[in-house]
């Protein structure tokens, strides 16, 4: 319990430090910063972007999942995989692919398109699972009463899958709030780019902290709103599922149109970025890739990712095990505090850790330890979720039997519980590893001098307009993301 409490305290400490830093000049200065026209402009841009992206992902994700599950399509498993693969493309890589093809593109709507295409799997994947578990008999009754497929989807199917779709939409909103690379590349100002601009400008770090607190407040409000809406909609009781999905046939022409639409979305989300990067890399004459520097950045990325993932998994184990085995208010509180990193954008956590590092001494700032600490705070929720699910699958009776055979509590936990949960723990390690590879703003703000990752190299090359040199980096980042995306597509049950 004490270890879990320390982990929870460590995750909430950056937010506390941010509050102290923002309030250091007094409440009047804090409110003046928040009420400036520029702050309100950034807030309006951020809310507009999140609203459009959330609505687009909700509609596209639910429709995609519904078509794939409801109707019998050729190569059905392929469509499941294609629905998940866009997760392999970081939004800033997709934005770079668009810029490499059309250098003059920028603004709100291109950014919305990029964000929707790269984040829609966050809605599609949980909705796919919810549709498979939904009660199909209700759909059959509605259809026999004369309701059309769309009417049935809205009135019968959607209430059953709404909690899963809303949870995915919340992830989309949090990702959009925290994203820095795509808005910066497409030149659309948000709260995240505003915080980063104030930080790198170095003119007013307190104003940056105030803006970061506003961004954190918006993120936490979205989390609270999603939970309240989910409680209002309820979680429909699961009845015995009758029938099987994927049994309805579409007319030949309609089936062709549906497959063309699904294929177009998949190509726009993952095929186009890969093709654009390959063409840019092949046609580059002025800016060729510096393969030695790229190899060095790859090695740094792998090292940072592996160490951060290992620390994160170790830190997550006490809370994950407690949450799996004991349900109490204290455990629930500790688990909720540990998930705070899921609601805080990377730029917010990074700015808070900058303040903490400066308090510890000049040598702490831009050190590897502070960068690793930021990764742990941001990504420990991913490891807790995977590890807790894995511990849930280990029967308590198995541990009791081991204890009755004379093993100590620690020996039982290592040889029985930890060993049995290892596949889920390893999955969490992989998710954290890939998340570290993709993280951009926190790495830019906290990385030690002279250390580059694939994400920061891509950012540096695009800032200079060296699209040809940046293209192989973008391809590498996509390849890195393919493994967890494929794993997620395999983990969703289709029957």
| Residue 1, pLDDT score | 62
- Residue 469 contacts by C-beta under 8 Å, 6 or more apart in sequence? 284, 287, 288, 289, 290, 461
Give me the CATH code for the 1-14+288-464 domain, please. Answer: 1.10.3720.10
**34, 181 contact by CB (below 8 A):** no
Q: 248 - beta bridge partners?
A: 71
pLDDT of the residue at 334 = 75
The three-class DSSP label of residue 35 is coil
- How far apart CA 357 and CA 448 sit, in angstroms, is 13
> For residues 70 and 249, what is the distance between their CA atoms, to the nearest angstrom?
9
Give the Cα separation of 184 and 347 in Å (integer): 13
Q: Do domains 1-14+288-464 and 36-285 have the same CATH topology?
A: yes
How much is the pLDDT for 238? Answer: 47
Domain boundary assignment for the chain:
1-14+288-464, 36-285
| pTM for this predicted structure | 0.82
**Burial of 278 from C-beta contacts in 10 A (0-12 / 13-18 / 19+):** middle
E strand or H helix at 282, and its extent?
helix 272-283
CATH no. for 36-285: 1.10.3720.10
- Determine the pLDDT at residue 239: 46
77-92: b (≥16 Cβ within 10 Å) or e: eebbbbbbbbbbbbbb
Q: Is the dihedral of CA 440, 444, 447, 451 positive or negative?
A: positive
Nearest one of 139, 143, 144, 141 to 159, comparing CA atoms = 139
Q: What is the DSSP letter of 448?
A: P
Q: Which of 22, 14, 21 is nearest to 340 (CA)?
A: 14
Neighbouring CB atoms inside 10 A of 218's CB total 19
φ, ψ at 120 (rounded to 5°): -60, -30
Assign 71 to helix, strand or coil. Answer: strand
DSSP string, 63-97: HHHHHHHHB--TTHHHHHHHHHGGGGS-HHHHHHH
pLDDT at res. 223: 77
Per-residue pLDDT of the chain (495 residues; tens, 9 = 90+): 667 777 777 778 877 877 887 776 667 777 877 888 988 999 999 999 999 999 999 999 999 988 888 877 787 778 888 888 888 889 999 999 998 888 888 999 999 999 999 999 888 888 887 777 666 666 666 667 666 667 677 777 777 778 888 888 888 998 899 899 899 999 999 999 988 888 887 656 678 888 888 888 888 888 777 767 766 665 554 444 544 555 667 777 788 888 899 999 999 999 999 999 888 877 765 555 567 788 888 889 999 999 999 999 998 888 888 877 777 777 777 777 777 777 778 888 888 888 888 777 767 777 888 899 999 988 888 888 778 777 877 777 777 777 787 777 778 877 777 787 787 788 788 888 888 888 888 898 888 888 889 889 888 888 877 777 788 888 888 887 777 777 666 665 555
Enumerate long-range contacts of 76-80, CB under 8 Å, 24 or more apart.
76/246, 76/494, 77/494, 79/262, 80/128, 80/489, 80/492, 80/494
Token output for 320? 């994950």
* Phi then psi dihedrals of residue 443, to 5 deg: -65, -40
């Amino acid at each position: 319990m004490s270890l879990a409490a320390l982990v929870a305290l460590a995750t909430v400490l950056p937010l506390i430090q941010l509050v102290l830093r923002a309030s250091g000049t007094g409440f009047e200065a804090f409110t003046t910063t928040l009420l400036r026209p520029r702050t309100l402009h950034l807030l309006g841009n951020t809310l507009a972007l999140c609203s459009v992206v959330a609505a687009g992902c909700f509609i596209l994700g639910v429709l995609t999942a519904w078509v794939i599950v409801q109707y019998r399509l050729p190569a059905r498993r392929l469509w499941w995989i294609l629905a998940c693969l866009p997760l392999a493309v970081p939004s800033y890589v997709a934005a770079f692919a668009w810029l490499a093809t059309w250098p003059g593109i920028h603004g709100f709507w291109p950014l919305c398109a990029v964000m929707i295409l790269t984040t829609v799997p966050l809605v599609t994947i949980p909705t796919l699972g919810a549709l498979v578990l939904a009660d199909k008999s209700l759909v059959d009754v509605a259809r026999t009463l004369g309701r059309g497929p769309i009417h049935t989807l809205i009135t019968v199917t959607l209430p059953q899958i709404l909690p899963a779709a809303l949870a995915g939409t919340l992830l989309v909103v949090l990702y959009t709030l925290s994203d820095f690379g795509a808005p910066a590349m497409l030149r659309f100002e948000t709260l995240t780019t505003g915080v980063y601009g104030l930080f790198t400008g170095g003119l007013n770090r307190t104003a940056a902290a105030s803006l970061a607190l506003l961004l954190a407040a918006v993120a936490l409000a979205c989390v609270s709103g999603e939970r309240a809406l989910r409680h209002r909609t309820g979680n429909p009781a699961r009845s015995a599922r009758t029938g099987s999905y994927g049994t309805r046939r579409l007319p030949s022409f309609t089936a062709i149109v549906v497959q063309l639409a699904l294929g177009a979305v998949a190509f726009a989300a993952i095929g186009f970025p890969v093709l654009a990067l390959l063409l840019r890399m092949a046609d580059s004459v002025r800016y060729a890739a510096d393969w030695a520097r790229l190899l060095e950045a790859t090695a740094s990325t792998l090292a940072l990712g592996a160490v951060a993932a290992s620390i994160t998994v170790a830190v997550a184990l006490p809370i994950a095990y407690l949450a799996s085995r004991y349900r109490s208010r204290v455990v629930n509180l500790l688990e909720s505090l540990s998930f705070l990193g899921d609601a805080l954008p990377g730029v917010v956590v990074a700015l808070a850790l900058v303040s903490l590092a400066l308090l510890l001494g000049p040598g702490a700032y831009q050190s590897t330890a502070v960068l690793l600490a930021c990764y742990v705070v941001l990504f420990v929720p991913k490891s807790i979720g995977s590890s807790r699910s894995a511990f849930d699958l280990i029967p308590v009776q198995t541990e009791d039997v081991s204890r009755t055979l004379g093993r100590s509590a620690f020996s039982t936990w290592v040889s029985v519980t930890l060993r049995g949960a290892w596949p889920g723990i390893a999955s969490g390690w992989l998710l954290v590893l890939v998340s570290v590879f993709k993280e951009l703003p926190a790495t830019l703000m906290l990385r030690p001098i002279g250390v580059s990752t694939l994400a920061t190299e891509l950012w540096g090359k695009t800032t200079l307009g060296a699209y040809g040199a940046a293209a192989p980096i973008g391809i590498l980042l996509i390849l890195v993301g393919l493994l967890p995306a494929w794993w997620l597509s395999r983990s969703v049950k289709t029957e």
